[in-house]
Amino acid sequence: MTRLRDSGFHLKLTDHNSYMQKLCKSDICRLFPDLYKRFGMESLMEKQNNKGWLYLLPAILFLGAFLIYPLIDVFIYSFEEGYNSASQTFYGIGGYNYSYVLHDAYFLQALKNTFILVIITVPLSTGLALLISVALSSIKPLQELFQTVFFLPYVTNTLAVGLVFMILFKKTPYSDGLVNLLIHCFGGSSVDFIEGPYWAKMFVLCFYTVWVVMPFKILILTSALAGVNPVYYNAARVDGTGRIRMFLKITLPMISPMLFYLVITGFIGAFKAYSDAVALFGTNLNAAGMNTIVGYVYDMLYRDSGGYPSYASAAAIILFSIVLTITCINLLVSKKHVHYH
């Protein structure tokens, strides 16, 4: 009997706690704060909040140590003129580092290359991925096989893919490359895409970047299209709506959150491009005229003896500001054109 009584008391106490938790979320607690404290719900909610912060503590420590602290540190370095990493000394504080970087011809070239890469590759890769995803969603036979084939470039080593592209496009004393052979078949003249004119090198870099990033976008968009409720399409067919109108009025709004996610991550990834250029043109990107902002930061940090960490920090803060500005603009645009359901 004692065990049954204890069990019944425990059940009643549990029901009471759950009832009070629901009660504290209502307007009664705000109207009668004394009643709220009297039943001890204030201490209960404080304990739950403390548990939540305890669960978040590892992530907060990790982000603080590897994201927030380095960002603050780089921001401080960017204003320390003539900073020497070996002796940890500098001779002044000011904006000279930013002035030097913004007037450096190598940085301006890297800035130009990066913006061209972003403007071309992000819309092109997202658009192509959307078209391929729609096609894959409409093809039922061998759908999984096609998805695997399109995803393979994403899991392939970046430098290995770059080496293959270099073999396809580079002219050598023994061969003009497979791409130039195709150009010859159509009556055109050969072009050195790796060591030739600027437009040819930029074409290869953009083509390579689209090739590398598109598989991930196809995977995300294919999953998004599979999650669209077919009831909307059935209702549209009953009304006699055409395929193009269904795509514009149903498909695009329903997958707009995923499109927005891919555009944001695409912009950030394109601004951080560096390994793609190295895979195609080697480590001396300044000589090739194909350096990026991240490549410029790397060169400034490790060039010569000890490098120039102050200039590298200034360039990194400029890149951070550009990415942050574009991300904020995208967030503002998304409020009107992204539909969350």
Whether 203 shows a pLDDT value over 90: the answer reads yes
Task: Name which residue leads in pLDDT, 62 or 23.
Answer: 62
Is the overall model pTM greater than 0.85, yes or no?
no
Confidence bin at 121 (pLDDT 50/70/90): very high
Contacts of 168 (CB under 8 A, 6+ apart): 177, 178, 179
pLDDT of residue 40 exceeding 70: no
Using 50, 70 and 90 to split pLDDT, how confident is the model at 165?
A: confident
Instruction: State residue 42's pLDDT score.
Output: 56
- pLDDT value at residue 159: 75
Q: pLDDT tens digits, residue range 221-279?
A: 988 998 888 898 888 888 888 888 988 888 898 898 899 999 999 999 999 999 889 88
Residue 262 has a pLDDT of: 94
The least confident of 66-80, 147-161, 257-271, 282-296 is: 147-161
When the candidates are 3.50.50.60, 3.30.559.10, 1.10.3720.10, 1.10.10.10, the CATH number that belongs to 97-337 is 1.10.3720.10
* The pLDDT of residue 196 is above 60: yes
Structure tokens at 144: 């999984």
166: pLDDT confidence band, cut at 50, 70 and 90? confident
pLDDT at 10 over 50: no
Residue-by-residue DSSP string for 199-247: HHHHHHHHHHHHHHHHHHHHHHHHHHHHTS-HHHHHHHHHTT--HHHHI
211 pLDDT more than 70? yes
Residue ranges of the chain assigned to CATH 1.10.3720.10: 97-337
Give the residue-averaged pLDDT of 284-305.
Answer: 86
**DSSP type of residue 111:** H
Angle at 287 between CA 286 and CA 290, to 5 degrees: 55
For range 33-46, the mean pLDDT: 54
- Averaging pLDDT over each range in 15-24, 97-106, 142-151, which range is the top one? 97-106
Residue 79 gets which letter from DSSP? T
48 Cβ neighbours under 8 A, 6+ residues apart: none
Average pLDDT over residues 122-151: 84
Q: Give, as one character, the DSSP assignment of residue 189.
A: P
Q: What angle do CA 269, 208, 199 make, to 5 degrees?
A: 105
Say which amino acid occupies 31.
L
What is the spatial distance between Cα 130 and Cα 225, in angstroms, rounded to a whole number? 10
Average pLDDT over residues 42-57: 74
Burial class (CB in 10 A: 0-12, 13-18, 19+), 259: buried
Q: Is the pLDDT of residue 169 over 90?
A: no
Average pLDDT of the chain, as a whole number: 81
pLDDT of 1 > 50? The answer is no
CA-closest candidate to residue 215, choices 147, 142, 294? 147
Residue 135 CA to residue 129 CA, distance in Å, equals 10
Q: Burial, 286: exposed, middle or buried (Cβ in 10 Å; 0-12, 13-18, 19+)?
A: middle
pLDDT at 45: 62
Asked whether the predicted pLDDT for residue 210 surpasses 70, the reply is: yes
Provide CB contacts within 8 A for 319, sequence distance 6+: 271, 293, 294, 297
| Burial of residue 190, with CB atoms counted within 10 A of its CB: 0-12 exposed, 13-18 middle, 19 or more buried | middle
In this prediction, what percent of the chain has a pLDDT beyond 70? 83
Most confident of 1-10, 44-53, 146-155, 239-248: 239-248
| Contact by Cβ (8 Å): 269, 295 | no
How far apart (Å, rounded) are the C-alpha atoms in residues 112 and 115?
5
Question: For residue range 301-339, what is the model confidence (pLDDT) as tens digits?
Answer: 886 545 788 999 999 999 999 999 999 998 888 887 777
Distance CA 30, CA 15 (A): 22
Closest CA to 222 of 258, 261, 269, 249: 258
pLDDT digit string (tens) for 15-39?
A: 545 555 555 545 455 545 554 554 4
| Residue 11 pLDDT greater than 90, yes or no | no
The pLDDT assigned to 33 comes to: 55
| Residue 272: per-residue pLDDT | 92
Q: What is the pLDDT of residue 126?
A: 94
Q: Which residues pair with 81 in a beta bridge?
A: 92
d(CA 224, CA 287): 43
> Is the pLDDT assigned to residue 107 strictly greater than 90?
yes
